[in-house]
Structure 1
Amino acid sequence: MTYRMHHLVGSDTDNDSVFMNETVRDYCRHQEIAFTRSRPYRKNDQAFVEQKNGAIVRHVVGYRRFERIPAAAALSRLYASLHLFVIFVQPSFKLAGKERQGALVRKRCHPPATPCQSLLDDLRVPAEVKAQLKEMLVTLDPVRLLQQIRDGQARLVELADEPVTPVSSSDPAILDPFQQGLRTAWNARWSSPNRPPQTAGSVRPATSGSLGSGDSTPAGLVQG
């Protein structure tokens, strides 16, 4: 939140304990941010926010399991480059409206634009914020950002494949450099982790009742 280009008015989260805790509450109070939560047992309240987990985070990071401080540091570096790439480089469509014609629904979208361009075109954004965005935009190299994302993905694959060794989480020699680097990691200048490596033992064998004991061809299945 330290590098956002707009004033954050409020934060509306789901009921996960990751958000519903004193740390987040106290931070919002200190920053004068309205902190609200979604309705209980109404999972679709956060649909527009949660879909970004699949469209951006899961698409890049995948579903591998990452543990320990080195993985957290690698994710932090990857997100720093991904954050800049999504905001300044990657255009996206924004829905303008829907029209229903019988059973057919036609969607109309605005011309594709990056979030940065949308902010620059918005008359409500202050001039000083637009100046900051333009300064950052001219310093970015899309090819380098993409390469950093690819390198970060490759590093995550390496960490996910490494055997887990017991490490003391309270070791200051490991924690201190990582915590100090979190504030500035975003300002530093995809081998895909989406699928885990498949081994012979991970292939699920067919059961004897899957196709029956008779002919396993399509014709045999239909006739049986």
Structure 2
Amino acid sequence: MSAATIDRYLKPSKAADAISGHSTTKPSPLLRSSIGIRKAGDEVEQEPGFFEVDTVAHCGPTTKGEYARTLNLTCVFTGWTWTRAVRNNAHVHILAALKAAHQEIPFEVVGLDFDNGSEFLNHPVIEWAGQQQIFFTRSRPYKKNDQATIESKNNHLVRKYAFHYRYDTEPERAVLNRLWPLVNDRLNFLTSTIKPIGYGSDRNGRRKRLYDKPATPLDRLILSGTLAPGQLRELIDYRATLNPAQIARDIADLQNVLLKLAKDKTEQLYLSSFPSALPDARRGVRVKAS
């Protein structure tokens, strides 16, 4: 066998052994019937400001105990992202992060689309959104395609940059919250993406997805015409100050800190989840009194 063939045969086994994330969303009956449902395939918003929102659990291989969550907001129209690590899923932490997002996102937040978790569907969060005139929608339970935009960001933003390790201490959360502004700057100002705009046919008549031209979230925001001239100049001037190479170095440095803080701990938790096939040699052994 060649090395490539061996890797291909071992791929299922390696995938089963890898440390992966856990879904910690729990359906909440609270206020659910009063929130409108937004389904996959519904008409895409044609202006900035409608955000899909989700949390990612940094629990490592076990959901026992308290661990950090990363709250992620992604604008469906522009792809603009805003990310913040919080202590846990308590509504006080989620609400504080949402308030910070509302202040820091450089354009108006007009709508939020959540899953059915109780960290979002509760009276304090809904009352705050009503005071800010932000409308709410929710996805259908167990239908991740209803939130395809944010689900993809959970993977190639949160998991790509923060890995699958367990973060449950204040120093680890502090490092995460130094990391996320750098990642957001890279994605919002410097990384071009494509958006699906419909379906067409190839030369053989088969259906294929159509995409627009690559553009950064800032470029899409500028083309939307929603920014005031002062805001526009401020964002363009800020982009001119960004050094992509320096951002990459800073991100790598913070990732190394996360590895030092959490890698060994996470791997030990992962290994401890497997029952040992060896007998406990200490059982039944009598130690002679000295």
Alignment of 1:92-111 (within 5 A): 92-101=193-202, 104-111=206-213
Residue in structure 2 matched with residue 78 of structure 1 by the alignment: 179
Alignment of 1:17-56 (within 5 A): 17-56=118-157
- Residue pair 1:119, 1:130 contacting (<8 A) in 2 also: no
Cα deviation 1:111-132 (Å, max 9, x = unaligned): 2111111212223443333122
- What's the secondary structure of 2:104's corresponding residue? coil
Structure 1's 62 and 15: CA in aligned 2 closer, same or farther, altered over 3 A? same
Residue in structure 2 matched with residue 138 of structure 1 by the alignment: 240
Aligned residue identity for 1:128: G
Cα deviation 1:88-117 (Å, max 9, x = unaligned): 111111223321356733333222111111
Residue in structure 1 matched with residue 162 of structure 2 by the alignment: 61
Q: CA offset at residue 157 of structure 1?
A: 0.8
Aligned residue identity for 2:200: E
Cα deviation 1:158-215 (Å, max 9, x = unaligned): 1113559xxxxxxxxxxxxxxxxxxxxxxxxxxxxxxx69x99999xxxxxxxxxxxx
- Residue pair 1:92, 1:113 contacting (<8 A) in 2 also: yes
- What's the secondary structure of 2:112's corresponding residue? strand
Residue in structure 1 matched with residue 229 of structure 2 by the alignment: 127
Alignment of 1:201-216 (within 5 A): none
Structure 2: gaps of 5 or more residues: 1-100, 275-290
Question: Using the alignment, how far apart are the partners of 1:30 and 1:200 within structure 2?
Answer: 48
- Residue pair 1:39, 1:45 contacting (<8 A) in 2 also: yes
Aligned residue identity for 1:29: G
Residue in structure 2 matched with residue 90 of structure 1 by the alignment: 191
After superposing the two structures, state which structure 1 stretch, 138-147 or 101-110, moved more.
101-110
Residue in structure 2 matched with residue 6 of structure 1 by the alignment: 107
Aligned residue identity for 1:157: L
How many pairs were matched up? 173
After superposing the two structures, state which structure 1 stretch, 81-90 or 105-114, moved more.
105-114
- Residue pair 1:97, 1:107 contacting (<8 A) in 2 also: yes
TM-align CA RMSD? 3.0
Question: Using the alignment, how far apart are the partners of 2:160 and 2:253 within structure 1?
Answer: 15
Question: Using the alignment, how far apart are the partners of 1:104 and 1:72 within structure 2?
Answer: 48
Structure 1: gaps of 5 or more residues: 165-195, 204-224
Pick the structure with greater CA Rg. Answer: 1
Q: CA offset at residue 75 of structure 1?
A: 0.7
Residue in structure 1 matched with residue 218 of structure 2 by the alignment: 116
Aligned residue identity for 2:261: L
Q: CA offset at residue 36 of structure 1?
A: 2.9
- Which one has a larger percent strand, Structure 1 or Structure 2? 2
Aligned residue identity for 1:24: V
Q: TM-score, normalised by structure 1?
A: 0.66
- Residue pair 2:186, 2:244 contacting (<8 A) in 1 also: yes
Cα deviation 1:40-75 (Å, max 9, x = unaligned): 344432122211111221121111111111111111
Aligned residue identity for 1:158: K
Residue in structure 2 matched with residue 159 of structure 1 by the alignment: 261
- Residue pair 1:92, 1:114 contacting (<8 A) in 2 also: yes
- Residue pair 2:144, 2:151 contacting (<8 A) in 1 also: no
Question: Using the alignment, how far apart are the partners of 2:271 and 2:164 within structure 1?
Answer: 20
Q: TM-score, normalised by structure 2?
A: 0.52
